[in-house]
Amino acid sequence: MIKQVYHPQNGMPAAGVKYQAYPQVGLSDRTWPSKQIEKPPIWCSVDLRDGNQALINPMGHDRKARMFQLLLDMGFKEIEIGFPSASQTDFDFARWCIEEGGVPDDVSLQVLVQCRPELITRTFESLEGANKPIVHFYNSTSELQRRVVFGKDVQGIKQIAVDAAKMIRDMAEKAGGGYRFEYSPESFTGTELDVALEISNAVIEVMQPTADNKLILNLPATVEMSTPNIYADQIEWMCRNIENRENVIVSLHPHNDRGTGIAATEMGLLAGADRVEGTLFGNGERTGNVDIVTLALNMFTQGVDPKLDCSDIERIKAVYEYSNELKIPERHPYVGELVYTAFSGSHQDAINKGMKAIKTANKPLWEVPYLPIDPQDVGRTYEAIIRINSQSGKGGIAYIMAEDYGINLPRKLQVEFREEIQRITDEEGVELPPKRIYERFMERYVEQPGARLKFLDHHSHTDPNRPGYRIVAAEIIDNGEKKRIEGKGSGPVAGFVDALSKYLGIDLSVNDYSEHSLQHGSDASAICYMEIDAAGKTVHGVGINANIVAASLEAIVSAANLIGR
């Protein structure tokens, strides 16, 4: 019986006793760190095989067909459609893809098979009539599985691979050719590099790949066991040492057990790999396969065309969730509900300024703080970029008011209104949707139900006793009663301020004023913002009217109603 040693403080087993560090490759002259990804790899989706086998409820025909069509529409040229020798369901789906799936001539269907004669025979039956299908054969080569599962030495494991390779080569020739081939030393990351190389070279020798029919050598992180840099070292070492390299396509098939599958794949491509197998959004055994959508969009944000169409991310998400019966988390890169959303006030302010700058900049380059990709490039909208809760700031509120309602709040009014929204979010402890923010703005500054004053109309004429001045007569409602007030000034605004000051017995003056149109066209409404000083207190008012002067006077009354609040 193994005696376990536990950490004295947290109760976990002593790591150095139960677990060991993954060995280094010792590649002192590695070249991959100084490289960058300049072109996309060959993509192969394994959603319908590797992804499907990991589902609680594996896909039926309809769910598979929906996923298959999506993969074709996205532009995948290689699609692993199943394990036809393992079940009648997979066999039947392979036949459907070939006979009814509408597979373009430039797309290769791929099927998986173990290195067992009876399964290989059944696999070729499933592929009859397919156009350049890929027969993907594998056997596990890891030290642990050799010892624990198979009870064989390296030569015994190599012989399994070689025998299968010979049988597949011969069956393909008898069938008239037209087949492509892929070999995986499964559990590559658990296999000593020299052993993986020996077995892979033995398979290469049998298959005799050519420039016209290259062999795919898939080097899977069947279980992610190390940091991504070590996986990259393994890939570069294999790329340097495999025989007939020019006629071998080196493929990656990373899983995500350590949560670094994306990084491992990107580093593996830097290390010389040509191809990537993965799934949409990373579905797969345990923590999943590598996420091809994230990989593709990572490349896109670096100026590299991934050759996959991710422009309708909502459709991709919908099909993924339907076919897999899984939900994508809100924070999943590029597709999650909240990934283009900022709640933080400082982030919102920066995004707001960035979005304004991008509209006025005369260049195509995307430069918006906190948004590495334009949401519209993947079919998302700007609606949810900024959402308001207790952590939000004036910039976020200003963005929503401008983008959703065409209301461009002056900076000081942003600060004042933000305090009002902050009060509501603190009291309710929830996010406020844009409609609620807009309604509160209108209630506070424009409609003002229950307020003392309301503007009705005005008339003005030149002051005969003072050239350049106007006499303004206005009608207002004060606590339900119509009143007439009169004042003088250099224009209608100044005259109305004078009239209202005398009526209320408060010294009012205009500190700042701005206005803009709310809609386009001849019947456009104007919105006016007034910053008013009322006996040392600053208040803001807003007016909306088809007449710009009336909107200005409404804004003054709006501010006057807020003096006592």
- Amino acid making up residue 485: I
pLDDT at 7 exceeding the cut of 90:
no
Q: Judge whether 275 and 249 are in contact, CB under 8 Å.
A: yes
pLDDT digits (tens, 9 = 90+) for 388-443: 555 555 567 887 888 888 899 988 898 899 888 888 888 887 777 888 989 999 99
Residues 6+ apart with CB under 8 A from 395: 345, 346, 348, 349, 350, 351, 352, 353, 386, 414
CA 160 to chain centre: 43
pLDDT of residue 1: 41
pLDDT tens for residues 81-133? 999 999 999 999 999 999 999 999 999 999 999 999 999 999 999 999 999 99
- How far is the C-alpha of 168 from the C-alpha of 117, rounded, in Å? 9
pTM, full prediction: 0.74
Residue spans of the domains in the chain: they are 32-324, 345-447, 453-561
Cα gap 466→489, rounded to integer Å: 10
pLDDT digits (tens, 9 = 90+) for 477-527: 999 999 999 999 988 999 999 999 999 999 999 999 999 988 655 566 899
Q: What pLDDT does 9 receive?
A: 62
CATH architecture entry for 32-324: Alpha-Beta Barrel (3.20)
Contact 275, 216 (CB under 8 A): yes
Highest mean pLDDT among 15-24, 144-153, 171-180: 171-180
What is the pLDDT, as a whole number, of residue 391? 58
Cα distance between residue 346 and residue 418, in whole Å: 13
For 189-233, the pLDDT digits (tens) are 999 999 999 999 999 999 999 999 999 999 999 999 999 999 999
Tens of pLDDT, residue by residue over 126-139, are: 999 999 999 999 99
pLDDT at 383: 53
The Cα angle at residue 292 between residues 291 and 296, in degrees rounded to 5: 125
pLDDT at 470: 87
Q: Which of 63-72, 92-101, 209-218, 375-384 has the lowest mean pLDDT?
A: 375-384
Residue 487 sits at the vertex; the CA angle it makes with 481 and 488, to the nearest 5 degrees, is 160
pLDDT in tens, 229-255: 999 999 999 999 999 999 999 999 999
Sheet of 453-462, strand order: 453-462, 470-478, 481-489
CATH of 345-447, one of 3.20.20.70, 1.10.287.1400, 3.40.50.300, 1.20.120.530: 1.10.287.1400
How far is it, in rounded angstroms, from Cα 465 to Cα 296? Answer: 76
217 and 235 in contact (C-beta within 8 Å)? no
What superfamily does domain 453-561 belong to in CATH? Alpha-isopropylmalate synthase LeuA, regulatory domain (3.30.160.270)
313 burial (CB, 10 Å; 0-12 / 13-18 / 19+) is middle
List Cα–Cα distances, 439 to 447, 448, 449, 513, in angstroms. Answer: 10, 11, 12, 23
What pLDDT was estimated at residue 252? 98
